[in-house]
Amino acid sequence: MIKRIALVIQYDGSPFSGWQNQQNLITVQGTLEEKISELVQSGQVKAIAAGRTDSGVHASGQVVHFDSSSPIPVTKWASALNGRLPRSIRVLEAIRVPEDWHACYSATYRRYRYSIFNGCHPNLFLQNICWHKYRVKLDDNLMMHALNDLLGMHDFAAFQKAGSNRINSLTTVQEVSISRNGDILSIDIQASGFLYGMVRLLMGQLVAVGEKRLTLKEFKDRWRGGLRSEVKEAAPPHGLCLVRVGYKDKIFSQKKSFDTLPSFSLPILDSPEESSYLEN
């Protein structure tokens, strides 16, 4: 009997060329499918994800489904896979779902978080998970004003990389937030779906607003006018993480799927010498 199994997984995207299978490259999908196939011993298994993260992008709450006739109890899938997967991928939870349930198409939203380290000096332990912006202190109030304008359904063609196969560039941004914990900025964007490269292109423009290189009006004119040629800066992938995927019905336990990305806080140093930015 074929059963559909859904997983919540985490991965450090640093060693992977993104989620999706690519010939001669190591991907999250390829690695996960290989280990599932080893367990079921019945040919190649196809794993479908809620979101196709790019090379170097992380996930703390990615959702995946696959079909299997294996007798392995659903409660054993997480531990069985974690015993075979590399340390860069962890399965948090496994459940059985209806055969028509789909990790991607059944989702009502995806939530991404972009992390920025806004301190003056490099920090070894943050370099793989944060974008280090050290020249000026970012104005998070201006950045929040820019984010608020994105709420609702809009055409976000200005934030879409070439190569997308979508028939249009409409999507609905449901929630936005920005918080500063010392020198760490966390920017959350939740939407019904995301265009190819959307969050990184948006973050590049948002940081320009925070650095006051781009006015709020210029930011708005660029994306509202679909001026893709004017959007030339993309934030690096390592600051981006897929933190949550939502569904109409409660599928997974909140503790394991809601927000498992750790929070970081670094104090803003008080000494003028220590805390001065390069611009000053």
Is residue 268 predicted with pLDDT exceeding 80? no
Q: Same structural domain for residues 90 and 127? A: no
41 class by beta-carbon count within 10 Å (0-12 exposed, 13-18 middle, 19+ buried): exposed
C-beta neighbour count of 128 within 10 angstroms: 13
The pLDDT tens digits for 43-58 are 789 999 999 999 999 9
In this structure, is residue 273 part of a structural domain? Answer: no
Number of domains in the chain: 2
Per-residue pLDDT of 175-193, as tens digits, reads 999 999 999 999 999 999 9
93, 125: one domain: no
CATH number of residue 62's parent domain: 3.30.70.580
> What is residue 165's predicted lDDT score, i.e. its pLDDT?
76
Q: What is the mean pLDDT of the chain?
A: 92
Burial of 202-224, coded b for 16+ CB within 10 Å and e otherwise, reads: bbbbbbbbbbeebeeeebeebbe
Domain boundary among 97, 126, 141: 97
Distance in angstroms (rounded) separating the CA atoms of residues 183 and 161: 30
Q: How far apart are CA 7 and CA 127, in angstroms?
A: 28
Name the residue range of residue 119's domain.
109-257
Same domain membership, residue 155 and residue 56 = no
| Of the residues 75, 97, 119, the one at which a domain ends | 97
Same domain, 40 and 140: no
Element (H, E) at 197: none
54 among known catalytic residues: yes
- 69 and 116 assigned to the same domain: no
| pLDDT class of 276 with cuts at 50, 70, 90 | low
pLDDT confidence of residue 273: 43
Residues with Cβ within 8 Å of 179's Cβ and at least 6 positions away in sequence, in order, are 185, 186
| pLDDT of 280 above 70 | no
Residue 274: the pLDDT is 46
Same domain? For 10 and 60 the reply is yes
What is d(CA 61, CA 236) in angstroms, rounded to the nearest whole number? 20
pLDDT at 88: 97
pLDDT at 42: 74
Residue 229 confidence class, pLDDT cut points 50, 70, 90: very high
78 plus 117 within the same structural domain? no
Are both 60 and 134 inside the same structural domain? no
pLDDT, one tens digit per residue, over 197-221 is 999 999 999 999 999 999 999 999 9
Q: Report the alpha-carbon distance of residue 275 to residue 229 in Å, rounded.
A: 36
Q: What is the pLDDT of residues 125-173, one digit of tens each?
A: 999 999 999 989 999 999 999 999 999 999 999 999 887 778 889 999 9
Q: Select from 97, 124, 151 the last residue of a domain.
A: 97
Q: How large a percentage of the chain has pLDDT more than 70? A: 95
Per-residue pLDDT for 270 more than 50?
no
pLDDT of residue 278: 55
The CA–CA distances, whole Å, from 99 to 45, 61, 160 equal 15, 22, 33
Strand partners, 112: 189, 242
Residue 275 domain-assigned (yes or no):
no
Give the tens place of pLDDT for each residue, 246-259: 999 888 988 888 88
Candidate list 12, 54, 140, 183, residue with the active-site label: 54
